[in-house]
């Protein structure tokens, strides 16, 4: 039995993932709905007896790890803002590390601005709602109008 590094598998809209064994190349697609909400990795065993640990991602959109400088503004407090590093990014939101301690509140509306590391140095400005706060780490969900698509952000996320 051989174990490999933990790999992320993205769950599709049907609640299924496709697992490809790194040892023998065998692939299979199966439902993983029973693991929704679970944060720890699960073990998958292949027919060839290879065992792999995988982390399941139930996100609606692909999330890209980044290191982008930016600023957040608390809309409830006009003078309250701070620098941040956007650590991960998707079409629906971002995770970030705050440079200073701040009391962001779950459900609070904020504005975020950051510059992409693309060839145009595109500036992204978004209204967002705080989704997660733990010490200096925060996460927010963008408040884009329903059905709208940010083409610059979408193009950036499709590039490796």
Q: Give residue-wise pLDDT tens across range 50-107.
A: 998 988 877 666 678 999 999 999 988 878 889 999 999 988 899 999 988 767 889 9
CB 82 within 8 A of CB 97: no
Q: What is the pLDDT of residue 38?
A: 76
From 57, 74, 92, the end of a domain falls on 57
Q: Specify the DSSP element, H or E, that contains 1.
A: none
In a domain, 27, yes or no: yes
Q: What is the CATH number of the domain that holds 104?
A: 2.40.10.220
- Check whether residue 20 and residue 80 sit in a common domain: no
> 10-50 pLDDT, tens per residue?
787 788 888 888 889 898 988 988 988 777 888 889 999 99
In a domain, 2, yes or no: no
> 136-147 pLDDT, tens per residue?
899 999 998 877
Dist CA 117 CA 103 (whole Å): 28
In a domain, 38, yes or no: yes
Q: Specify the DSSP element, H or E, that contains 152.
A: helix 151-158
pTM (2 decimals)? 0.63
User: Domain range for residue 68?
Assistant: 64-158
**Beta strands at 51-57 and 7-10: parallel, antiparallel or unpaired:** parallel
Q: What is the pLDDT of residue 1?
A: 45
- Check whether residue 40 and residue 114 sit in a common domain: no
From 15, 34, 57, the end of a domain falls on 57
In a domain, 1, yes or no: no
């Amino acid at each position: 039995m051989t174990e490999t590094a933990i790999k992320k598998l993205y769950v599709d809209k049907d609640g299924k993932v496709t697992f490809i064994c790194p040892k023998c190349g065998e692939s299979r697609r199966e439902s993983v709905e029973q693991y929704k909400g679970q944060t720890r990795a699960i073990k998958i065993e292949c027919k060839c007896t290879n065992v792999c640990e995988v982390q399941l991602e139930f996100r609606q959109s692909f999330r890209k790890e980044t290191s982008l400088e930016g600023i957040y503004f608390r809309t409830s407090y006009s003078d309250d803002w701070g620098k941040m590093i956007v650590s991960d990014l998707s079409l629906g939101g971002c995770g970030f590390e705050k440079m200073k301690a701040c009391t962001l509140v779950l459900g609070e509306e904020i504005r975020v601005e950051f510059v992409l590391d693309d060839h145009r140095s595109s500036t992204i400005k978004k209204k967002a709602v705080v989704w997660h706060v733990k010490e200096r780490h925060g996460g927010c969900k963008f408040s884009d109008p329903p059905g709208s698509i940010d083409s610059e952000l979408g193009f950036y996320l499709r590039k490796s």
